[in-house]
Amino acid sequence: MKRKFYTVMVFARLNTKRFFRDKLAIFFAIIFPLVFLFVFGGIFSKNNGTSFKVAVINQSTTTFGNSFAEEIKYNKLFKVDKTIMDISAANSKMSKNQLDASIIIPSNFGQIDKGIARGKINVIYTTNSEQAGSAIVAVLNGQLEPVNAKILKSSPPFSVVSTLSTNKSLTAFDYTFSGLLGFSIIGLGIFGPINVFPELKKQGILRRFHTTPLRVWQYFVATMISQAIVGLVAIAVLFSAAITIFHLKVTGNYMEIVLYIILSIITILGIGLALGGWAKNERQAAPLSNIIVFPMIFLSGTFFPTYLMPIWLQKVSSFLPLTPVINGIRLLTTEGYHLINLGPQLLALGIWIIIIYLIAFKVFRWE
Protein backbone atom coordinates (compact mmCIF):
# COMPACT_ATOMS: atom_id res chain seq x y z
CA MET A 1 0.00 0.00 0.00
CA LYS A 2 2.85 2.36 0.83
CA ARG A 3 4.39 1.75 -2.60
CA LYS A 4 1.06 2.47 -4.31
CA PHE A 5 0.77 5.86 -2.65
CA TYR A 6 4.43 6.56 -3.40
CA THR A 7 3.55 6.07 -7.09
CA VAL A 8 0.64 8.48 -6.67
CA MET A 9 2.88 11.17 -5.22
CA VAL A 10 5.49 10.69 -7.96
CA PHE A 11 2.90 11.22 -10.69
CA ALA A 12 1.36 14.15 -8.80
CA ARG A 13 4.77 15.82 -8.66
CA LEU A 14 5.39 15.16 -12.36
CA ASN A 15 1.99 16.55 -13.34
CA THR A 16 2.53 19.68 -11.24
CA LYS A 17 5.97 20.30 -12.76
CA ARG A 18 4.56 19.77 -16.25
CA PHE A 19 1.92 22.41 -15.63
CA PHE A 20 4.30 25.11 -14.39
CA ARG A 21 6.57 24.48 -17.39
CA ASP A 22 3.68 24.99 -19.81
CA LYS A 23 3.25 28.72 -20.48
CA LEU A 24 -0.05 28.20 -22.30
CA ALA A 25 -1.47 26.24 -19.36
CA ILE A 26 -0.38 28.99 -16.95
CA PHE A 27 -2.07 31.61 -19.13
CA PHE A 28 -5.45 29.85 -19.25
CA ALA A 29 -5.42 28.72 -15.62
CA ILE A 30 -4.13 31.89 -13.95
CA ILE A 31 -3.81 34.87 -16.31
CA PHE A 32 -7.09 34.38 -18.21
CA PRO A 33 -9.34 34.35 -15.07
CA LEU A 34 -7.33 37.32 -13.78
CA VAL A 35 -8.23 39.28 -16.93
CA PHE A 36 -11.92 38.53 -16.32
CA LEU A 37 -11.50 39.65 -12.71
CA PHE A 38 -10.23 43.07 -13.82
CA VAL A 39 -12.96 43.43 -16.45
CA PHE A 40 -15.89 42.54 -14.18
CA GLY A 41 -14.29 44.17 -11.15
CA GLY A 42 -14.06 47.42 -13.09
CA ILE A 43 -17.71 47.15 -14.09
CA PHE A 44 -19.33 46.09 -10.83
CA SER A 45 -17.17 47.97 -8.34
CA LYS A 46 -18.43 51.31 -9.69
CA ASN A 47 -21.70 53.03 -8.91
CA ASN A 48 -22.87 55.73 -11.31
CA GLY A 49 -24.90 57.45 -8.55
CA THR A 50 -27.36 59.04 -10.99
CA SER A 51 -30.39 57.38 -9.37
CA PHE A 52 -31.34 55.24 -6.39
CA LYS A 53 -33.08 51.87 -6.43
CA VAL A 54 -35.72 52.01 -3.71
CA ALA A 55 -38.85 50.32 -2.45
CA VAL A 56 -41.74 52.54 -1.31
CA ILE A 57 -43.91 50.88 1.33
CA ASN A 58 -46.90 53.14 1.87
CA GLN A 59 -48.75 52.35 5.10
CA SER A 60 -50.42 55.75 5.35
CA THR A 61 -54.21 56.07 5.37
CA THR A 62 -54.18 59.83 4.83
CA THR A 63 -54.63 61.76 1.61
CA PHE A 64 -51.34 63.58 2.10
CA GLY A 65 -49.46 60.33 2.74
CA ASN A 66 -50.79 58.73 -0.43
CA SER A 67 -50.07 61.88 -2.42
CA PHE A 68 -46.48 62.04 -1.16
CA ALA A 69 -45.93 58.35 -2.00
CA GLU A 70 -46.96 59.07 -5.58
CA GLU A 71 -44.56 62.03 -5.74
CA ILE A 72 -41.67 59.75 -4.78
CA LYS A 73 -42.53 57.33 -7.58
CA TYR A 74 -42.41 60.13 -10.15
CA ASN A 75 -39.14 61.58 -8.82
CA LYS A 76 -36.41 61.00 -11.44
CA LEU A 77 -33.81 60.41 -8.71
CA PHE A 78 -35.62 57.24 -7.62
CA LYS A 79 -36.11 53.95 -9.42
CA VAL A 80 -39.00 52.46 -7.48
CA ASP A 81 -39.43 48.68 -7.43
CA LYS A 82 -43.21 48.44 -7.72
CA THR A 83 -43.26 44.69 -7.05
CA ILE A 84 -42.35 45.12 -3.37
CA MET A 85 -45.31 45.44 -1.00
CA ASP A 86 -43.86 44.73 2.45
CA ILE A 87 -40.68 45.23 4.48
CA SER A 88 -39.78 41.54 4.42
CA ALA A 89 -39.52 41.51 0.63
CA ALA A 90 -37.60 44.79 0.75
CA ASN A 91 -35.08 43.41 3.27
CA SER A 92 -34.55 40.36 1.08
CA LYS A 93 -33.70 42.50 -1.93
CA MET A 94 -31.51 44.87 0.08
CA SER A 95 -29.47 41.92 1.35
CA LYS A 96 -28.78 40.99 -2.29
CA ASN A 97 -27.86 44.59 -3.17
CA GLN A 98 -30.86 44.85 -5.48
CA LEU A 99 -32.08 47.94 -3.58
CA ASP A 100 -30.26 50.96 -2.18
CA ALA A 101 -32.91 51.59 0.48
CA SER A 102 -36.52 51.14 1.56
CA ILE A 103 -38.74 54.18 2.16
CA ILE A 104 -41.40 53.45 4.79
CA ILE A 105 -44.35 55.87 5.00
CA PRO A 106 -46.06 55.05 8.35
CA SER A 107 -49.81 54.84 8.88
CA ASN A 108 -49.97 58.13 10.86
CA PHE A 109 -48.05 60.13 8.27
CA GLY A 110 -50.11 63.26 7.47
CA GLN A 111 -52.56 62.91 10.39
CA ILE A 112 -53.66 66.06 12.21
CA ASP A 113 -52.05 66.58 15.63
CA LYS A 114 -52.99 69.74 17.54
CA GLY A 115 -54.31 71.30 14.38
CA ILE A 116 -51.13 70.55 12.36
CA ALA A 117 -50.47 67.64 10.00
CA ARG A 118 -47.33 65.75 11.03
CA GLY A 119 -45.37 62.59 10.29
CA LYS A 120 -41.97 60.95 9.91
CA ILE A 121 -40.73 58.88 6.98
CA ASN A 122 -38.31 56.05 7.76
CA VAL A 123 -35.50 55.25 5.33
CA ILE A 124 -33.93 51.82 5.88
CA TYR A 125 -30.61 50.89 4.28
CA THR A 126 -27.69 48.49 4.84
CA THR A 127 -24.01 49.04 5.61
CA ASN A 128 -23.13 48.73 1.92
CA SER A 129 -25.55 51.56 1.05
CA GLU A 130 -24.78 54.14 3.72
CA GLN A 131 -23.88 56.86 1.21
CA ALA A 132 -26.99 56.17 -0.86
CA GLY A 133 -29.13 56.12 2.30
CA SER A 134 -27.84 59.51 3.43
CA ALA A 135 -28.42 60.95 -0.02
CA ILE A 136 -32.00 59.61 -0.10
CA VAL A 137 -32.73 61.18 3.30
CA ALA A 138 -31.43 64.51 2.00
CA VAL A 139 -33.58 64.27 -1.16
CA LEU A 140 -36.73 63.48 0.83
CA ASN A 141 -36.08 66.29 3.29
CA GLY A 142 -35.70 68.59 0.31
CA GLN A 143 -39.14 67.53 -0.93
CA LEU A 144 -40.70 68.20 2.48
CA GLU A 145 -39.09 71.61 3.09
CA PRO A 146 -41.58 73.65 1.03
CA VAL A 147 -44.48 71.75 2.64
CA ASN A 148 -43.13 72.49 6.14
CA ALA A 149 -42.63 76.15 5.28
CA LYS A 150 -46.29 76.51 4.31
CA ILE A 151 -47.61 74.76 7.43
CA LEU A 152 -45.34 76.06 10.18
CA LYS A 153 -42.58 78.62 10.29
CA SER A 154 -40.80 77.42 13.44
CA SER A 155 -40.29 73.64 13.77
CA PRO A 156 -40.88 71.46 10.71
CA PRO A 157 -43.88 69.15 11.22
CA PHE A 158 -42.69 66.66 8.61
CA SER A 159 -39.25 65.09 8.65
CA VAL A 160 -37.32 61.99 7.63
CA VAL A 161 -35.46 59.63 9.95
CA SER A 162 -33.07 56.88 8.85
CA THR A 163 -32.42 53.44 10.27
CA LEU A 164 -29.21 51.49 9.63
CA SER A 165 -30.11 47.85 9.17
CA THR A 166 -27.76 45.36 10.83
CA ASN A 167 -28.36 42.83 8.06
CA LYS A 168 -25.34 42.12 5.88
CA SER A 169 -25.65 42.77 2.17
CA LEU A 170 -23.45 41.85 -0.77
CA THR A 171 -22.15 44.11 -3.50
CA ALA A 172 -22.41 43.16 -7.16
CA PHE A 173 -18.67 42.44 -7.10
CA ASP A 174 -19.14 39.97 -4.20
CA TYR A 175 -21.46 37.90 -6.38
CA THR A 176 -19.24 38.24 -9.42
CA PHE A 177 -16.08 37.20 -7.58
CA SER A 178 -17.44 33.83 -6.48
CA GLY A 179 -18.58 33.25 -10.08
CA LEU A 180 -15.09 34.04 -11.37
CA LEU A 181 -13.65 31.50 -8.96
CA GLY A 182 -16.07 28.97 -10.41
CA PHE A 183 -14.90 29.93 -13.91
CA SER A 184 -11.30 29.36 -12.84
CA ILE A 185 -12.19 25.96 -11.37
CA ILE A 186 -13.85 24.94 -14.64
CA GLY A 187 -10.72 25.88 -16.54
CA LEU A 188 -8.57 23.80 -14.22
CA GLY A 189 -10.89 20.85 -13.84
CA ILE A 190 -12.23 20.38 -17.35
CA PHE A 191 -10.10 22.12 -19.94
CA GLY A 192 -6.88 20.88 -18.32
CA PRO A 193 -7.53 17.12 -18.68
CA ILE A 194 -9.25 17.34 -22.08
CA ASN A 195 -6.20 19.13 -23.47
CA VAL A 196 -3.61 16.89 -21.83
CA PHE A 197 -5.11 13.39 -22.05
CA PRO A 198 -5.70 13.25 -25.84
CA GLU A 199 -2.17 14.55 -26.41
CA LEU A 200 -0.71 11.87 -24.11
CA LYS A 201 -2.72 9.23 -25.98
CA LYS A 202 -1.54 10.57 -29.31
CA GLN A 203 2.08 10.34 -28.16
CA GLY A 204 1.51 6.83 -26.80
CA ILE A 205 2.49 7.85 -23.26
CA LEU A 206 -0.71 6.57 -21.61
CA ARG A 207 -0.34 3.26 -23.49
CA ARG A 208 3.12 2.84 -21.97
CA PHE A 209 1.71 3.69 -18.53
CA HIS A 210 -0.81 0.89 -19.03
CA THR A 211 1.99 -1.66 -19.36
CA THR A 212 3.23 -0.75 -15.86
CA PRO A 213 1.57 -1.65 -12.53
CA LEU A 214 -0.01 1.84 -12.52
CA ARG A 215 -3.76 1.65 -11.90
CA VAL A 216 -6.46 4.03 -13.04
CA TRP A 217 -7.32 5.11 -9.48
CA GLN A 218 -3.65 5.96 -8.84
CA TYR A 219 -3.48 8.09 -11.95
CA PHE A 220 -6.75 9.83 -11.04
CA VAL A 221 -5.65 10.57 -7.46
CA ALA A 222 -2.30 11.90 -8.68
CA THR A 223 -4.13 14.19 -11.10
CA MET A 224 -6.45 15.36 -8.29
CA ILE A 225 -3.50 16.28 -6.09
CA SER A 226 -1.63 18.16 -8.83
CA GLN A 227 -4.75 20.03 -9.98
CA ALA A 228 -5.61 20.95 -6.38
CA ILE A 229 -2.14 22.45 -5.94
CA VAL A 230 -2.34 24.36 -9.20
CA GLY A 231 -5.90 25.46 -8.40
CA LEU A 232 -4.97 26.86 -4.99
CA VAL A 233 -2.13 28.85 -6.57
CA ALA A 234 -4.44 30.26 -9.26
CA ILE A 235 -7.20 31.11 -6.80
CA ALA A 236 -4.74 32.66 -4.34
CA VAL A 237 -3.72 35.05 -7.13
CA LEU A 238 -7.39 35.95 -7.74
CA PHE A 239 -8.01 36.51 -4.02
CA SER A 240 -4.91 38.71 -3.73
CA ALA A 241 -5.98 40.88 -6.66
CA ALA A 242 -9.61 41.13 -5.46
CA ILE A 243 -8.62 42.11 -1.91
CA THR A 244 -5.84 44.52 -2.89
CA ILE A 245 -7.41 46.25 -5.88
CA PHE A 246 -11.17 45.85 -5.52
CA HIS A 247 -11.30 45.77 -1.69
CA LEU A 248 -13.05 42.42 -1.40
CA LYS A 249 -14.10 41.82 2.22
CA VAL A 250 -13.54 38.18 3.14
CA THR A 251 -15.71 37.46 6.17
CA GLY A 252 -15.28 33.67 6.26
CA ASN A 253 -12.62 31.34 7.61
CA TYR A 254 -9.74 30.92 5.14
CA MET A 255 -9.10 27.28 6.05
CA GLU A 256 -12.73 26.38 5.41
CA ILE A 257 -12.60 28.27 2.11
CA VAL A 258 -9.49 26.31 1.07
CA LEU A 259 -11.07 22.96 1.97
CA TYR A 260 -14.26 23.79 0.04
CA ILE A 261 -12.30 24.95 -3.00
CA ILE A 262 -10.28 21.70 -3.00
CA LEU A 263 -13.51 19.69 -2.84
CA SER A 264 -14.93 21.81 -5.67
CA ILE A 265 -11.84 21.27 -7.84
CA ILE A 266 -12.05 17.51 -7.28
CA THR A 267 -15.74 17.51 -8.23
CA ILE A 268 -15.32 19.46 -11.48
CA LEU A 269 -12.08 17.61 -12.28
CA GLY A 270 -14.09 14.38 -12.49
CA ILE A 271 -15.88 15.78 -15.57
CA GLY A 272 -12.52 16.56 -17.20
CA LEU A 273 -11.18 13.10 -16.36
CA ALA A 274 -14.28 11.47 -17.86
CA LEU A 275 -14.13 13.52 -21.07
CA GLY A 276 -10.36 13.41 -21.47
CA GLY A 277 -10.17 9.74 -20.53
CA TRP A 278 -12.86 8.76 -23.02
CA ALA A 279 -11.81 10.89 -26.00
CA LYS A 280 -9.24 9.47 -28.43
CA ASN A 281 -8.25 12.90 -29.74
CA GLU A 282 -9.02 16.60 -29.49
CA ARG A 283 -11.75 16.42 -32.15
CA GLN A 284 -13.81 14.19 -29.86
CA ALA A 285 -13.06 16.01 -26.61
CA ALA A 286 -13.57 19.67 -27.62
CA PRO A 287 -17.20 19.56 -28.87
CA LEU A 288 -18.41 17.42 -25.98
CA SER A 289 -16.68 19.61 -23.40
CA ASN A 290 -18.25 22.75 -24.88
CA ILE A 291 -21.72 21.17 -24.70
CA ILE A 292 -21.19 20.52 -20.98
CA VAL A 293 -19.20 23.62 -20.00
CA PHE A 294 -21.17 26.46 -21.61
CA PRO A 295 -24.54 25.68 -19.97
CA MET A 296 -22.80 25.56 -16.59
CA ILE A 297 -21.02 28.86 -17.19
CA PHE A 298 -24.19 30.73 -18.13
CA LEU A 299 -26.69 29.02 -15.80
CA SER A 300 -24.70 28.55 -12.58
CA GLY A 301 -24.09 32.20 -11.70
CA THR A 302 -20.58 32.52 -13.15
CA PHE A 303 -20.95 36.02 -14.60
CA PHE A 304 -24.27 37.17 -13.12
CA PRO A 305 -26.36 36.09 -10.09
CA THR A 306 -28.83 33.25 -10.60
CA TYR A 307 -31.58 35.26 -8.84
CA LEU A 308 -31.79 37.41 -11.98
CA MET A 309 -33.00 34.39 -13.95
CA PRO A 310 -36.62 33.20 -14.19
CA ILE A 311 -37.71 30.84 -11.41
CA TRP A 312 -37.91 27.80 -13.72
CA LEU A 313 -34.36 28.45 -14.95
CA GLN A 314 -33.12 28.82 -11.37
CA LYS A 315 -34.51 25.34 -10.67
CA VAL A 316 -32.66 23.96 -13.68
CA SER A 317 -29.40 25.59 -12.57
CA SER A 318 -29.69 24.02 -9.11
CA PHE A 319 -29.07 20.59 -10.69
CA LEU A 320 -25.76 21.64 -12.31
CA PRO A 321 -22.54 20.68 -10.45
CA LEU A 322 -21.07 24.17 -10.75
CA THR A 323 -24.00 25.81 -8.93
CA PRO A 324 -23.21 24.43 -5.42
CA VAL A 325 -19.54 25.23 -6.08
CA ILE A 326 -20.23 28.94 -6.69
CA ASN A 327 -22.95 29.24 -4.03
CA GLY A 328 -20.78 27.55 -1.41
CA ILE A 329 -17.75 29.72 -2.17
CA ARG A 330 -19.89 32.87 -1.96
CA LEU A 331 -21.45 31.85 1.36
CA LEU A 332 -18.06 31.03 2.87
CA THR A 333 -16.16 33.99 1.45
CA THR A 334 -18.45 37.01 1.63
CA GLU A 335 -21.38 35.96 3.85
CA GLY A 336 -19.38 34.50 6.73
CA TYR A 337 -20.90 31.02 6.69
CA HIS A 338 -19.06 27.95 8.00
CA LEU A 339 -18.80 24.49 6.43
CA ILE A 340 -21.26 23.18 8.99
CA ASN A 341 -23.88 25.56 7.51
CA LEU A 342 -23.41 24.30 3.94
CA GLY A 343 -25.38 21.06 4.21
CA PRO A 344 -27.24 21.38 0.85
CA GLN A 345 -24.10 22.40 -1.05
CA LEU A 346 -21.94 19.65 0.47
CA LEU A 347 -24.65 17.06 -0.18
CA ALA A 348 -24.93 18.16 -3.82
CA LEU A 349 -21.15 17.98 -4.30
CA GLY A 350 -21.03 14.55 -2.63
CA ILE A 351 -23.72 13.20 -4.97
CA TRP A 352 -22.00 14.67 -8.03
CA ILE A 353 -18.61 13.23 -7.00
CA ILE A 354 -20.09 9.72 -6.83
CA ILE A 355 -21.90 10.06 -10.18
CA ILE A 356 -19.05 11.75 -12.06
CA TYR A 357 -16.27 9.43 -10.90
CA LEU A 358 -18.32 6.29 -11.53
CA ILE A 359 -18.65 7.51 -15.11
CA ALA A 360 -14.98 8.54 -15.30
CA PHE A 361 -13.73 5.10 -14.19
CA LYS A 362 -16.14 3.42 -16.57
CA VAL A 363 -15.20 5.34 -19.73
CA PHE A 364 -11.46 5.88 -19.16
CA ARG A 365 -9.25 4.51 -21.95
CA TRP A 366 -5.48 4.29 -21.96
CA GLU A 367 -5.32 4.75 -25.73
Name every residue whose Cβ is closer than 8 Å to that of residue 167 and which is 6 or more positions away in sequence: 91, 94, 95, 126
Is the pTM higher than 0.85? The answer reads no
Question: How far apart, in whole angstroms, are the C-alpha atoms of residue 276 and residue 265?
Answer: 16
Indicate whether 48 pLDDT > 50: no
pLDDT on residue 23: 77
What's the sign of the alpha-carbon dihedral 267, 28, 12, 252?
negative
pLDDT on residue 86: 85
pLDDT, tens digit, 9 for 90 and up, residues 198-216: 777 777 777 787 777 778 8
Question: How far apart, in whole angstroms, are the C-alpha atoms of residue 271 and residue 352?
Answer: 10
CB neighbour class for 335 (10 Å; exposed up to 12, middle 13-18, buried from 19): middle
Three-state DSSP at 194 gives: helix
Contact 365, 281 (CB under 8 A): no
Domains of the chain plus CATH, in order, are 2-44+171-363 (no CATH), 52-164 (3.40.1710.10)
Q: How confident is the model at residue 171 (pLDDT cuts 50, 70, 90)?
A: low
- φ, ψ at 105 (rounded to 5°): -100, 110
Task: Work out the average pLDDT over 56-60.
Answer: 88
Q: How confident is the model at residue 258 (pLDDT cuts 50, 70, 90)?
A: very high
pLDDT, tens digit, 9 for 90 and up, residues 270-315: 888 888 778 776 777 777 878 888 888 888 878 777 777 788 888 8
Contact 184, 33 (CB under 8 A): yes
Judged by average pLDDT, the poorest of 99-103, 114-118, 163-167 is 163-167
Question: How far apart, in whole angstroms, are the C-alpha atoms of residue 39 and residue 48?
Answer: 17
